[in-house]
Every structure is written in structure tokens, then in C-alpha cells.
């Protein structure tokens, strides 16, 4: 084994400005990687309640990277001399991955740890491992300026295509109905699921497009780069999201500062084009903010909107810090943030936006790492970020008079990486943006030329090489098979839900779900849905008579209970699974009265897991009412109201109990409390007011009914 010294950028080519056309062509592996970079963020995945908008990208990425890595390893096995390129980034990446997996293995809970049931949702671990491997492979196969520029161009092409769709979407065009949330249709969402993800992809790639524009020597080709630069600037504005735009302005200002400070070291780039590029940015903003009609970004830049949007995040960050204090060394585990968050969520959180949803992310990537991986993982994560800056500052302060042109790309990559970090202050990684976090530093070290080469003599015999290649192929095939199995299970599960919810086809839904469970038996939500399907089978069979029918009913009943048992045993931390069990057992109690106790136990467990969710207490109150314990039901409903003052179901249930018990003084006090909340302007109350009016009318209380009707006007 022999080592070679550091290879500097100026030593990789005999000419600092060697024309790209004379460079060697890309290898098949390099082409595959470039194609992957373009295709993965563009994958279509329309959102529905059962299909997370990122998971198709996660599955595809894992399978594609496994295939590319296997080809890379097999190609190296048949060389007599195996060259391995490494740098500080590679070592930092390996340490980071070890720390991340350490937290995954020993923190959190059995269900989501490495030693537990390895099923989804384990998306963050799968995607992190995928892109770490991709980064390590990229360091090996992209070794010269031409190939690195092609990889950089692939990122720009992908972002350009996304920006075209975003612009079309902004002006009312949507040829493939790529909407994600109905309430956000005024935003350009592309395939990211949320506008902030779409804007982040464009913002990360804009500095690279800028670098191509100012360094391309041929004027006509340079003008071609101006087209995506214009579209991407407009696209990021049309995202309608504050964070990507603010982060982009920060990064481009810093980028211009770098160019100005180190002007004397720059190669022959066109300062006129730099001026044109910044003029494009200004004109794009003028065009956008003076555009007639609705402007979502102008609305979101209002102080009240900013306070509403970021006020909730401060509450979330505080809860995440509490999580870190309880698990300071290894954190709660990469997959456990949502469940742990609900367990310690404060009452204050109930008054923020999306309060009744599971917060799977801290909406600050740094705090999220601190909470989920502890000091060990957080330290490795910060060190990885610091390493990104080393190659840039290495060539910034060396004695050569000029940079190589590829050094400009290293600064552009640093700009895109810095942009990503800026968005991480109040957002989180999406599957496509994770690719930037890992591949940009790998490219950065190669562009800056800060790496070492190690040559290993391949002493394997011909048979040994074929045997090793066979092992790699089998392992890769197995991994792709497992990923595909989970992928197909998810597809079958989603199709099963559609068959039942949209078409009422129980038999087709059950067949698809059984296939999904066979493909991935460790997913708790599959078993929860199976219990619902068999409950529907049981209800349909109620009117059937005879011994065979009774046996069938018993079978359906047993399957409902077994499926529900499997569901909650797999993941006892999820409040929504316990509440689903409680609701199911409440329905079963109409046929089998003793199931009411099981319903109460399930709802109490939901309270234990998520104590500050008012709906859990309302559910417990519902069981107490069925048991004739109105006193206990009232206590639970009052707790629910104390957790969120405008929780309408609690008021409706309390009014019903008070009318039933003829507690007229309590009725009047409750009416006064409701009036004080100005319910006609409250989305929680308005749609439910007819129910409250009907309660008063049914009890022949015309005065109260009139009071409620007045609130609706």
C-alpha cells in the first residue's frame, strides 16, 4: 500500500483554465450519480392522509444508492490497484455516522431502536445512512474538475426544472395536480410537500448557478446559465415562504462579500456578469412585490404573521430542550422525537399553530439533533459542519496569487451549504435537502483539492474477486429487496385505506392490507387499521343467524381484539393508537358490554402518554358518561377546558351533562364562559354552534337557544 501526498487544485491540471470540452468523458457511475441527483427531488408523490410526501423519495434513494454503491465496489474489485481517496470530511463523516447509530441503537424505545423491530417509521435513520454512503462514494468517483462541474450542473438542472413548475403553478397552471395541502394552494410546492422545502432546494442551488454564470468563458454559454438563474430567483419568491427568501438574501450578500474581499486572487471572471446577476435578483423582487393580486409572501412578512409563525417554534424549542435535559448523553433516539415531545408537551403548546398534530421535528435542526442524539451526536454533527469550511479557508489564505476557477465553485458550494444551515435555524431537513448536507461538502473538498490518495494492491485471485463480487451483489440485492418490500407494503396499505374509505370495499381493503402486513409485519399502524376492517366485518355480520354465523362473529371479534393488541404492543408511546383502541372498544361495548372497561383503560393510557392533549380527557369523559359516572366525566371535561379554553367538544358535553342533571346555575355560568370567548369568530366553535343550539332547544330552553343563535350572527 502506498500513499500520495495532498493533491492541490492547481496541481490537478496543467492549465488553470483548461476548456471543459477537452476533458475526459464521465464514467457510467458518474452519469448514474448525476441522474440520481436530478431525478430524486422530482419524484412525484401526491400527498394524502396515509402517504407521507417524502417516503417515496426515501425508498427510491435507498435503492438507487445501494445499486450505485454495489457497482462501485464491484468495479474496484477487478482492478489490480485500488485507489482510495480520503480527506478530513471522510473521517468526520464516519465518526458522525457512528455517533448517530449509537444513539439509534441504545436510546429511546424497543420499537424504534436498532435492537427492536426495524420497521418504518425509521425514515431518518434510513435516509441519513443512505446519503452518508452516497457522500463516501462520491468522494471516490468524482475526482477531476470536469466531473465535479457536471455533478454541480446536475443540482442546478434539477432546481431549474422545479422552478419552472413553481412559476407555472404560481400563475394558475397545474398540469399534473401536484398540490399538497388544499389550504396552501397559493404556494409553489412542487414535490417537497411544503413550500419551505421547495424554496430550500432552489436556494441551495442558486449559488452554484451563479458560479457557472460568472465563470463560463464562452459568452453565449454564459447567457444560457442566466435563464435558470432568473427562473430560480422567481421560483424561490413564488414559494411564498419567508425562511428560504431571507436565508437566500443573507447567503448572496456573504457570497458577494467573499468576491469583493478576495478580488485580487480571483481568476478571470466577469465582474460585469456579477453585476448582471445581482441586478436579476433586484428585478425579480421588484416584479414579484409589485405584482397585482394576492401575494402570499407579502402577507406572511407582516409582523403578526411572523409572530404567529415563530411564536410556536419558541415553545417547541423549549420542550425540545427539556427532552435533552432528560437524555443528555445519547438523546431520545433519532426516531423518537414526536412521541417524547407529546409526553412532555406543555399546555402553552396547545395555543400554538398545529397544536393537535404530532411534532416529529423540532423545527430547528440543531436543537433537534441535541434532543434526539444528545451531546455525542450533536458534537459529531457540529464537527461535520465545521469541516465544510476547512478546504475553502485553506485555499483562501494560501500564497498563490490566484484561485483556480474551480475554487469559485467551492465558495459557491459553501454558500449553498451556509444557506441550508440558515434555513435549519427555524426549519428541518427534507429528504432532498439532506442530499445537499452530505454531497456539498464531499464536492467542496474535491473542488478545493484537499485530499489524499492511498493505493492498495489487490492480491485477490481471479476466483476470489468473483467470489467477493458475488457477496457484494447478494448483499445489495437483499437490501434493495428489503427496501422494496417496505415500499410495496406502504403502497398496499395506502391502497387498502382508499378501498375502504373512498369506496367502502371491505374485501379488497382486507386483501391489500393482509399483503402489506405480510411484507412488513412490524408496522403498528397496519395492525390498527386491520382492527378497523375486522370491526366492519363484525358489524356486517350482526344480523346473520345460526351456529356458523355465530362462529364467524366470534372469529371477527377475536381478530379485532388481536389486531388491536398487536398494534399497541408494538408502540406503546403513541397516543393516537391508544385513542383509536379506546374508540374501537367503545363501539364493541355495544355488543359486548365488558369491552367498556377496555375502552376506559385505553383512553387512560392515551392520557398517560399525552397528558396535555384535551381530546384524550374528553375521550375518558365519554366512557364515564356511558358508565353513569357524570361526576367523573365533569372532572375530565374541566381538565380538557383547562388545557385549551376554546375546546368546543368539552363545552358541548358539559352542557349536555348539566341539562341532564338539571344544574341550571352551572349551565348559566358555562354560557357566560362561552360568550366571553367570542365564538362566532373562532373556527373551533362556529361550525359546532348548531349542536349547542339544538341542546338548548331539546331541553325547551328558548332563552339559551336564542343566546346561542345571536352569537352566530
Tens of pLDDT, residues 245-276: 777 777 778 777 777 777 776 666 777 888 88
Closest by CA to 183, choosing from 173, 200, 195, is: 195
Tens of pLDDT, residues 354-384: 676 667 788 899 999 999 999 999 999 999 9
* Number of alpha helices (DSSP H) and beta strands (DSSP E) in the chain: 27, 3
Please report, for residues 133, 176, 567, 619, the alpha-carbon distance to residue 674 in angstroms, rounded to integers and kept in the order given: 57, 45, 39, 21
C-alpha cell at 504: 367502502
For residues 701 and 663, the answer to whether their CB atoms sit within 8 Å is no
> Interhelix angle for 337-344 vs 303-326, to 10°?
100
Contacts of 699 (CB under 8 A, 6+ apart): 659
Can you give the C-alpha Rg of the chain in angstroms?
A: 29
Global model pTM greater than 0.75: yes
Tens of pLDDT, residues 284-337: 878 777 777 666 666 666 665 666 666 778 888 888 998 999 889 999 888 888
Q: Which pLDDT score, from 0 to 100, does residue 309 have?
A: 63
Average pLDDT, integer, range 431-457? 84
Phi-psi region of 374 (alpha: psi -120 to 50; beta: other; left: phi over 0): left
What does the angle CA 496 – CA 340 – CA 244 come to, to the nearest 5 degrees?
A: 80
All domains of the chain in start order, with CATH:
2-14+31-459 (no CATH), 482-562 (1.25.40), 572-643 (1.25.40.10), 645-713 (no CATH)
Please report which confidence band the pLDDT of residue 189 belongs to, taking 50, 70 and 90 as the band edges. very low
Tens of pLDDT, residues 57-107: 888 899 999 999 999 999 998 888 888 888 888 899 999 999 998 888 876
For residues 11 and 449, the answer to whether their CB atoms sit within 8 Å is yes
Q: What is the four-CA torsion angle of 340, 342, 343, 346, rounded to 10 degrees?
A: 120
Distance CA 309, CA 28 (A): 46
For residues 377 and 369, the answer to whether their CB atoms sit within 8 Å is yes
Q: Which pLDDT score, from 0 to 100, does residue 436 have?
A: 92
Q: Which pLDDT score, from 0 to 100, does residue 599 have?
A: 95
Looking at the predicted structure, is the pLDDT value of residue 11 above 50?
no
Q: Which pLDDT score, from 0 to 100, does residue 678 have?
A: 60
Tens of pLDDT, residues 507-528: 999 999 999 999 988 888 899 9
For residues 712 and 680, the answer to whether their CB atoms sit within 8 Å is yes
Q: Which pLDDT score, from 0 to 100, does residue 360 have?
A: 78
For residues 384 and 93, the answer to whether their CB atoms sit within 8 Å is yes
Tens of pLDDT, residues 168-178: 877 776 655 54
Least confident of 166-180, 227-241, 596-610, 641-655: 166-180
Contacts of 119 (CB under 8 A, 6+ apart): 486, 520, 522, 523
For residues 433 and 135, the answer to whether their CB atoms sit within 8 Å is no
Please report which confidence band the pLDDT of residue 711 belongs to, taking 50, 70 and 90 as the band edges. low
Distance CA 705, CA 690 (A): 9
Looking at the predicted structure, is the pLDDT value of residue 210 above 50?
yes
Tens of pLDDT, residues 486-500: 888 888 888 898 888
Cα-Cα end-to-end distance for the chain: 84
Q: Which pLDDT score, from 0 to 100, does residue 713 have?
A: 59
- The DSSP output letter for 25 is P
Amino acid at each position: 500500500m502506498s500513499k500520495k501526498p495532498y493533491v492541490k487544485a492547481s496541481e490537478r491540471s496543467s492549465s488553470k483554465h483548461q476548456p471543459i470540452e477537452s476533458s475526459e468523458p464521465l464514467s457510467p457511475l458518474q452519469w448514474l450519480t448525476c441522474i440520481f441527483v436530478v431525478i430524486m427531488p422530482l419524484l412525484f408523490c401526491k400527498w394524502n392522509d396515509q402517504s407521507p410526501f417524502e417516503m417515496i423519495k426515501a425508498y427510491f434513494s435507498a435503492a438507487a444508492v445501494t445499486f450505485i454503491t454495489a457497482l462501485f465496489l464491484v468495479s474496484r474489485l477487478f482492478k489490480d490497484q485500488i485507489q482510495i481517496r480520503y480527506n478530513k470530511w471522510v473521517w468526520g463523516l464516519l465518526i458522525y455516522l457512528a455517533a448517530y447509530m449509537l444513539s439509534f441503537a441504545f436510546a429511546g424505545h424497543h420499537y424504534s431502536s436498532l435492537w427492536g423491530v426495524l420497521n418504518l417509521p425509521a425514515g431518518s435513520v434510513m435516509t441519513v445512512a443512505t446519503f452518508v454512503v452516497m457522500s463516501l462514494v462520491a468522494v471516490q468517483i468524482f475526482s477531476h474538475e470536469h466531473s465535479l462541474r457536471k455533478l454541480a450542473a446536475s443540482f442546478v438542472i434539477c432546481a431549474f426544472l422545479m422552478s419552472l413548475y413553481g412559476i407555472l403553478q404560481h400563475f394558475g397552471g397545474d398540469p399534473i395536480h401536484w398540490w399538497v395541502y388544499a389550504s396552501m394552494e397559493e404556494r409553489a410546492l412542487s414535490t417537497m410537500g411544503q413550500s419551505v422545502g421547495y424554496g430550500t432546494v432552489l436556494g441551495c442551488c442558486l449559488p452554484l448557478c451563479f458560479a457557472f454564470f460568472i465563470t463560463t468563458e464562452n459568452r453565449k454559454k454564459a447567457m444560457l446559465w442566466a435563464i435558470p438563474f432568473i427562473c430560480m430567483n422567481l421560483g424561490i419568491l413564488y414559494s411564498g415562504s419567508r425562511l428560504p427568501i431571507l436565508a437566500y438574501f443573507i447567503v448572496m450578500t456573504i457570497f458577494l462579500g467573499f468576491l469583493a474581499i478576495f478580488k485580487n486572487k480571483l481568476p478571470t471572471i466577469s465582474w460585469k456578469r456579477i453585476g448582471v446577476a445581482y441586478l436579476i435578483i433586484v428585478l425579480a423582487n421588484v416584479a414579484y412585490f409589485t405584482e397585482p393580486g394576492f401575494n402570499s409572501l407579502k402577507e406572511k412578512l407582516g409582523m403578526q404573521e411572523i409572530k404567529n409563525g415563530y411564536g410556536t417554534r419558541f415553545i417547541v424549542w423549549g420542550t425540545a430542550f427539556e427532552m435533552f435535559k432528560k437524555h443528555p448523553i445519547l438523546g431520545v433516539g433519532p426516531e423518537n422525537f414526536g412521541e417524547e415531545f407529546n409526553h412532555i408537551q406543555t399546555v402553552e403548546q396547545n395555543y400554538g399553530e398545529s397544536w393537535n398534530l404530532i411534532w416529529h421535528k423540532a423545527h430547528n435542526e440543531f436543537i433537534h439533533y441535541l434532543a434526539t442524539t444528545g451531546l455525542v451526536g450533536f458534537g459529531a454533527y457540529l464537527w461535520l459542519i465545521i469541516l465544510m469550511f476547512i478546504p475553502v479557508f485553506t485555499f483562501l489564505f494560501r500564497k498563490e496569487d490566484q484561485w483556480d476557477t474551480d475554487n469559485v465553485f467551492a465558495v459557491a458550494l459553501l454558500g449553498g451549504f451556509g444557506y441550508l444551515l440558515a434555513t435549519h435555524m427555524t426549519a428541518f431537513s427534507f429528504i432532498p435537502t439532506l442530499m445537499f448536507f452530505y454531497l456539498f461538502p464531499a464536492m467542496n473538498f474535491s473542488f478545493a483539492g484537499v485530499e489524499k490518495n492511498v493505493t492498495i494492491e489487490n492480491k485477490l485471485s481471479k476466483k476470489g474477486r468473483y467470489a467477493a463480487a458475488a457477496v457484494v451483489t447478494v448483499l445489495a440485492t437483499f437490501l434493495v429487496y428489503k427496501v422494496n418490500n417496505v415500499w410495496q407494503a406502504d403502497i398496499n396499505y395506502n391502497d387498502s385505506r382508499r378501498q375502504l374509505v373512498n369506496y367502502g370495499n371491505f374485501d379488497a381493503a382486507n386483501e391489500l392490507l393482509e399483503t402489506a402486513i405480510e411484507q412488513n409485519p412490524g408496522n403498528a399502524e397496519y395492525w390498527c387499521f386491520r382492527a378497523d376492517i375486522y370491526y366492519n366485518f363484525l358489524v356486517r355480520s350482526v344480523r346473520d343467524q345460526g351456529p356458523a354465523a355465530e362462529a364467524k362473529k366470534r372469529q371477527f371479534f377475536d381478530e379485532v381484539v388481536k389486531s388491536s393488541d398487536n398494534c399497541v404492543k408494538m408502540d406503546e408511546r403513541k397516543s393516537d393508537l391508544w385513542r383509536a383502541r379506546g374508540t374501537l372498544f367503545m363501539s364493541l361495548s355495544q355488543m359486548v358490554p365488558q369491552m367498556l372497561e377496555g375502552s376506559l383503560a385505553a383512553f387512560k393510557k392515551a392520557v398517560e402518554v399525552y397528558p396535555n392533549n384535551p381530546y384524550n380527557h374528553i375521550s375518558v369523559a365519554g366512557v364515564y358518561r356511558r358508565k353513569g359516572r357524570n361526576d367523573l366525566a365533569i372532572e375530565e371535561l374541566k381538565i380538557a377546558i383547562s388545557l385549551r379554553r376554546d375546546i368546543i367538544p368539552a363545552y358541548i358535553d358539559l352542557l349536555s351533562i348539566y341539562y341532564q342533571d338539571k344544574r341550571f346555575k352551572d349551565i348559566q355560568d358555562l354560557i357566560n364562559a362561552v360568550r366571553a370567548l367570542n365564538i362566532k369568530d373562532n373556527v373551533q366553535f362556529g361550525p359546532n354552534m348548531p349542536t349547542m343550539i339544538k341542546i338548548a332547544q331539546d331541553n325547551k330552553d328558548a332563552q339559551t337557544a336564542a343566546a346561542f343563535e345571536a352569537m352566530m350572527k
